[in-house]
Amino acid sequence: MFYLLILLLQMKLIRQIADLNKAINKEKELGFVPTMGSLHKGHASLVNISKKKCKKTLVSIFVNPTQFNNKNDFKTYPRNLNKDIKFLKKLKVDYLYIPSVDQIYNNKQSNKIILNKSQRILCAKFRKGHFEGVLDVLNRFTSLIRPKKIFMGEKDFQQFFLVRNFIEKNYKTKVFSCKTIRDMNQVALSSRNSLLNKQNYKKAGMIAIQLINLKKLIKNNAKYKNLIKKIKSSLIKEFNINIEYLECRNQFNLSANLNNKPFKLFVAYYLNGVRLIDNF
Ligand code: AMP
């Protein structure tokens, strides 16, 4: 009896669609946390929020090839499956779904997703096809899992924004954002941080602190665009980084028109070949 109870409480590891259907077909209040693995405390915070808001929580680990616009980036993306499984067991996740690429892409052709002009900003401008890949894969996952709620990080705010609009338009599922978890030095936790050496990790922290301060200075400053320009060139010089974008956007619709509305400062940059994104 005791062992049966332990077995029932254990995290179920699922690899096949048929097993997924069997395991969750009766679940009505499922929380879903999609990830690409190499898990850290940022992912753990999403899991914990899902566990609080939903009866059961399903995490997926899937490094989605179609959202990488660069083959080498896909190849070198950090993968730590055994560590991740232990990590999620400790968090007492109910289901872990680890499908193969064939499982997700062989079965059905989904409608082609095309971003409109107003959506081709920030990362969408610099990573061609990236969000089309993200939306397509989350469409496939949502149609398989039919979760009540999906939890995503504010760290990838543009991703959250596009996914929420797309999923809530097409499903009954609600998409929630969870705040960015940072390290002591203010770097946003990210799987890609493991690709940085100690010195560059320290640099990333100093850059984050400067951007947190910049955000404070931008508030109530009519000439904020000049201020951003100045800080941008000083960051490039000081840290030898390549900045793809550093810009403010309206928090509700991502328009460049702030209109005295709450806004976010978005950044994407390369530090020694590693692409990092953040927002403040
Ligand atoms: P990824 O595995 O990088 O695809 O991320 C999976 C989910 O975790 C996404 O919704 C991310 O926005 C979220 N996430 C990543 N890093 C953080 C963080 N530092 N704090 C909160 N959420 C995060």
Residue pLDDT, tens place only, 96-131: 999 999 999 986 767 789 999 999 999 999 999 999
pLDDT recorded at residue 2: 64
Percent of the chain at pLDDT > 70 equals 96
Tell me how far the alpha carbon of residue 226 lies from the centroid of ligand 1, in angstroms. Answer: 31
Residue 50 has pLDDT above 80, yes or no: yes
CA distance to 92, 120, 216, per residue, from 96 (Å): 10, 33, 40
Cβ(188)–Cβ(154) below 8 Å? no
**pLDDT at 202 exceeding the cut of 80:** yes
Residues whose beta carbon lies within 6 Å of some atom of ligand 1: 35-36, 42-43, 45-46, 152-153, 155-156, 178, 180-181, 188-191
Q: Which CATH superfamily is domain 191-279 in?
A: Pantoate-beta-alanine ligase, C-terminal domain (3.30.1300.10)
Radius of gyration of the chain (CA): 20
One-letter amino acid identity for 22?
K
Confidence of residue 262 (pLDDT cuts 50, 70, 90): very high
Q: What pLDDT, on the 0 to 100 scale, is given for residue 205?
A: 98
What pLDDT does 3 receive? 65
Q: Residue of the nearest CA to atom 17 in ligand 1?
A: 42
According to the model, what pLDDT value does residue 220 have?
75
The letter for the amino acid at 270 is Y
CATH for the 2-178 domain, from 3.40.50.300, 3.40.50.620, 1.10.290.10, 3.40.50.970: 3.40.50.620
Which atom of ligand 1 is nearest to 182's Cα? Answer: 19
pTM listed for this prediction: 0.96
Domains 2-178 and 191-279 in one fold: no
The model's confidence at residue 201, banded by pLDDT at 50, 70 and 90, is very high
By most ligand atoms within 8 Å of CB, the mutation choice from 36, 58, 156 for ligand 1 is 156
Q: Whose CA is nearest to atom 18 of ligand 1?
A: 42
pLDDT, residue 107, reads 67
Average pLDDT rounded to a whole number, residues 60-75: 95
What pLDDT score was predicted for residue 4? Answer: 60
Query: Average model confidence (pLDDT) for the chain?
Result: 95
What stretches of the chain show up as alpha helix (H) in DSSP? 2-9, 17-24, 41-53, 71-76, 81-90, 101-106, 122-126, 130-145, 157-170, 198-218, 224-239
Confidence bin at 225 (pLDDT 50/70/90) = very high
What value does the mean pLDDT take over residues 89-98? 98
Determine the distance separating the centroid of ligand 1 and the alpha carbon of 43, expressed in angstroms: 6
Give the residue numbers annotated as catalytic, written as ranges. Answer: 43
Both structure tokens of 247:
């810009």
How many Cβ atoms sit within 10 Å of the Cβ of residue 156? 21
CB neighbourhood size of 15 (10 A): 12
Cα 164 to averaged position of ligand 1 atoms, centre (Å):
15
- Domain extents for the chain? 2-178, 191-279
221-246 mean pLDDT:
95
Do 177 and 53 touch, CB atoms closer than 8 A? no
Return the residue whose CA atom lies nearest to atom 12 of ligand 1: 153
Contact 24, 30 (CB under 8 A): yes
Question: Atom 5 of ligand 1 has which residue's CA nearest to it?
Answer: 35
Ligand 1 midpoint to CA 10 (Å): 24
Whether the predicted pLDDT of 204 surpasses 80: yes
